[in-house]
Structure 1
Amino acid sequence: MILYLLRRVFLLAFVFIALSILAFSLGYLFPGDPLQNFTGLRTISAEQLPLLIAEYRMDQGYIQQYLGYLQRIISGDWGLSFASQQLLLVEIKMLLPATLELAAYALLISFFIGIPLGIIAAIKPDGVLSKAISALALTGYSLPIFWWALLLIMVFSLWLGWLPTAGRIGVLYEIPYQTGFMLIDILLAQSQYQQEALFNALRHLLLPTLVLATFPTTVMIRFTRDSMLEVWEQSYIKTARAKGLSRSQVLYRHGLRNALLPVTRQIGLQFSTLITLAMITEVIFSWPGIGRWLIDSIYQRNFPAIQSGLLIISTLVITVNMLTEVLHTLFNPLARKR
Structure 2
Amino acid sequence: MLTFLLKRLLGLLPTLLIVSVLVFLFVHLLPGDPARLAAGQDADAQTVALVRTELGLDRPLPEQFVRYFANLARGDLGVSIRARRPVSTEIGERFLPTLLLTLTSMAWAVAFGLIIGIVSAVYRNEWPDRVGMTLAVSGISFPAFALGILLMQIFSVELGWLPTVGADTWRHYVLPSLTLGAAVAAVMARFTRAAFVEVIGEDFVRTARAKGLKERVVIAKHCLRNALIPVVTMMGLQFGFLLGGSIVVEAVFNWPGMGRLLVDAVNQRDYPVIQALVLLFSLEFILINLVVDVLYGLINPTIRYR
User: TM exceeds 0.5?
Assistant: yes
Structure 1 pair 30–134 and aligned structure 2 pair: CA distance change class (3 A): closer
- What is aligned with 1:291? 259
CA contact (8 A) 1:262 1:328 kept: no
Say which SS state the counterpart of residue 260 (structure 1) adopts. helix
Contact 2:139–2:182 (8 Å) recurs in 1: yes
Unaligned segments of structure 1, at least 5 residues: 170-200
Tell me the residue number matched to 1:20. 20
Residue of structure 1 equivalent to 2:162: 163
Confirm whether residue 82 of structure 1 aligns to residue 50 of structure 2.
no
**Residue 129 to residue 30, structure 1, CA distance change in 2 (3 Å):** closer
Percent identity (aligned): 36
Corresponding residue to 1:311 among 279, 283, 292 = 279
Who is 1:133 aligned against?
132
Superposition TM-score, scaled by structure 2 size: 0.85
Aligned to 1:110, the other structure's residue is in SS state: helix
Instruction: Tell me which residue corresponds to 1:249.
Output: 217
Q: How many residues align?
A: 297
The CA RMSD over aligned residues, in Å, is 3.1
Residue 336 of structure 1 aligns to a residue whose secondary structure is: coil
* Range with greater deviation from structure 2 (122-131 or 156-165): 122-131
8 Å Cα contact 2:16-2:279 kept in structure 1: no
1:264 Cα deviation after fit: 1.5
- Superposition deviation, residue 285 in structure 1: 0.3
Compute the displacement of 1:305 (Å): 2.0
Structure 1 residues 32 and 153, CA gap change in structure 2 (3 angstroms): closer
CA distance in 2 between partners of 1:276 and 1:270 (Å):
10
For 1:193-245, what per-residue CA distance to the aligned partner results, in whole angstroms no more than 9, with x for missing partners?
Answer: xxxxxxxx111111001111101001111111111111101111111111222
Q: Secondary structure of the residue that 1:163 maps to in structure 2?
A: coil
- Displacement of 1:249 after TM fit? 2.0
Distance in 2, matches of 1:204 and 1:68, equals: 41
Contact kept, 8 Å, 2:250 with 2:256, in 1: the verdict is: yes
314-323 vs 118-127, which deviates more?
314-323
Match of 2:153 in 1: 154
Which structure 2 segments of 5+ residues have no match? 40-46
Structure-1 separation of matches of 2:138 and 2:196: 21
CA distance in 1, matches of 2:259, 2:240: 13
Q: In the TM superposition, what is the alpha-carbon distance from 1:32 to its structure 2 partner? A: 7.8
Pairwise mapping of residues 1-338 of structure 1 onto structure 2 (< 5 A)? 4-26=4-26, 28-30=28-30, 62=62, 68-169=67-168, 201-333=169-301, 335-336=303-304
C-alpha distance in structure 2 between counterparts of 1:277 and 1:308, whole Å: 16
